[in-house]
Amino acid sequence: MDISQLDKIKTAWNELYPTPDANQKLEILLKELEIARNNNRFNPQPDGWYKDAVVYSLYVDFFAGTFHGLSDKLDHLKELGITCLWLLPILDSPMRDAGFDIRDYRNIRAELLGLPGGTDVEIKQKAFRDFLEEAHARGIRVIFDIAMNHTSEEHAWFVESRKGPDNPYRDYYIWNKDTNKYKETRLLFKGMCPSNWEKDGDYYFFHRFFEFQPDLNYKNPDVLIEISRILLFWLSQGLDGFRADAIPYIWKEDGTDCENLPQTHTIIKIFRAVIDYVRPNTLLLAEACQPPKEVVKYFGNGDECHAGYHFPLMPMIFKSLAVGDATPVHEVLDPSVTPEIDTENQWFMFLRLHDELTLEMVTPEDRAVIHGHYCKDPRWDFRVGEGISARLSELLDRDPHKISLANSIMLTLPGTPIIYYGDEFARLNDEAFYERFKLETGKDDTRYFVRGPLNWKQIDTELANPESLTTRVNATITDQLRVRGQWPVFGRGDCQWATIEISPREDHEKPLLAYFREMTGQRVLVINNLSAKAITIKAIDDHNTEFVNLFNGKSLETPFVLPPYGYLWLEA
């Protein structure tokens, strides 16, 4: 018999906090959970809905100004083929790190709602609920970021905490008289932060990210309860899921690298049980920039996150495109690197997340190849060679064929795809936005190249020109998403590499990234030409001899020619 969610919480809680005082606090949380469940107005979501999703990632203000503007764009997003919105940080913040420095977890930034700063919180929450209803009416789910590892230094908890060792909120954060703890912890913002400790009066506080983002102290059970309450609050508003930001760093132990510790997984089990008890199948998405073998641990035994980003795959797609060879993608998806996952779980795929082409999860040799090929402007360098801050169209030479090919790969390999706002219009780096924020923040944070507002008038002008890069890329991506939406196999099917005979053929050359996607009742063959030359497909090692092009419904028999950077999606 399955253990109830409450029993799961009790078991995990006692592993972390085996004291009578902590048990009293747990009883309070369990009572609040019961109230939240009884008051829940929303039905459980369908099992595995996130497997069929196409996610669109955006900053509300940069995409549409306000939530009202975003509501006006929902029909556009639905027509594009989007079924889930990932709202990049929308909560109250001083905005020193694009909103990832949260000042109030229950309060949406007033300007995003088109409201004055002093507007009552409930009015803002009502406006957000209205937006959720608009999105849900169009079949679009909504998730957003919850930074669980840290807050802004302006958060009320930290304002109190820094008042002194005797303050009741002092233990919500990690303070020390010196910097002699957690010495093995790596610097995440290499080149921007010299240390994980920041001096404040006679003490230091610990931070994994910027010095204005102090880390929460989960050794204090009050912190876990507070974050659980925040999850419950947003469940009550109708949110469909949470992107759990920076979860590998949640628990700290001296003498370790403070990443992926067992206690972190115990905490995630509690969060998952809290969510499942109130509204099952609400998405918990792991933002863990770690090797796949570590990321899959955040799926637990079906009791942690539902899904996680496949961070190492993205740079290998770029490497394969750079060298015209499928080997890097083959190697990163080999079971020795990417373990099999349960049918409930899912990888989330992307070409660009909201920041940079991150190179944390590659070897120094691969980093040299990728950085050398794609960092075409020294200003794009991020974290001293560990990332490249540039828009997809800039990385791919503003070439519509390369851009379309890259999207073909992302949309057809196993996983749920994420499109970063503006990429469907071949948006370029925002030079002016970068320069402005460098002045305003005092940080040379090159990620601002890939942010900034969309100019819809300019987009409309470019879309009116059939030869523009904007039109060509937009037409292709719209067509790709139309087809993908008709074939659940792309989100749910198995993947097997295809063997194809080609001409011309050189020894050890693998210019085609080709694979079958298969599930009961559906079988598709995808062929991507990674090279700058046309390739003749002479034969396909398969029992079929005739294939049907998913884009135009026409039959195709070998031999046929695939143009440079061309691709085909075929019913097999």
pTM of the entire structure?
A: 0.94
Q: What is the pLDDT of residues 466-487, one digit of tens each?
A: 999 999 999 999 999 999 999 9
Percent of the chain residues past pLDDT 90, beyond the cut: 86
Whether residue 110 is predicted with pLDDT greater than 90 in this model: the reply is yes
Q: CATH second-level architecture of 493-571?
A: Sandwich (2.60)
Task: Please state the separation of Cα 367 from the chain's center in Å.
Answer: 21
Using pLDDT thresholds of 50, 70 and 90, give the confidence band for residue 195: very high
User: How many residues comprise the chain?
Assistant: 572
Average pLDDT over residues 136-155: 96
What was the pLDDT predicted at 289? Answer: 82
* Amino acid (1-letter code) at residue 234: W
Give ranges for CATH 3.90.400.10 in the chain.
153-215
Omega before 559 within 30 of 0, i.e. cis: yes
Average pLDDT over residues 450-462: 95
Name the CATH topology of 153-215: Oligo-1,6-glucosidase; domain 2 (3.90.400)
Q: What is the CA radius of gyration of the chain?
A: 24
Whether residue 2 is predicted with pLDDT greater than 80 in this model: the reply is no
Q: At what angle do helices 20-39 and 5-16 cross, to 10 degrees?
A: 150
Q: Compute CA distances 425 → 334, 446, 459, whole Å.
A: 33, 21, 7
> Which positions are annotated as active-site residues?
245, 287
Q: Of 113-117, 384-388, 505-509, which gets the smallest average pLDDT?
A: 505-509
What was the pLDDT predicted at 507? Answer: 65
Strands of 357-358's sheet in order across: 357-358, 387-388, 381-382
Whether residue 56 is predicted with pLDDT greater than 50 in this model: the reply is yes
What was the pLDDT predicted at 3? Answer: 67
* Mean confidence (pLDDT) of the chain: 94
Give ranges for CATH 2.60.40.1180 in the chain.
493-571
What was the pLDDT predicted at 418? Answer: 97
* Amino acid (1-letter code) at residue 172: Y
What was the pLDDT predicted at 1? Answer: 32
What was the pLDDT predicted at 15? Answer: 97
Average pLDDT over residues 556-564: 94
Strands of 567-571's sheet in order across: 494-497, 512-519, 522-529, 567-571, 546-549, 555-557
Q: What is the pLDDT of residues 330-354, one digit of tens each?
A: 999 999 999 999 999 999 999 987 6
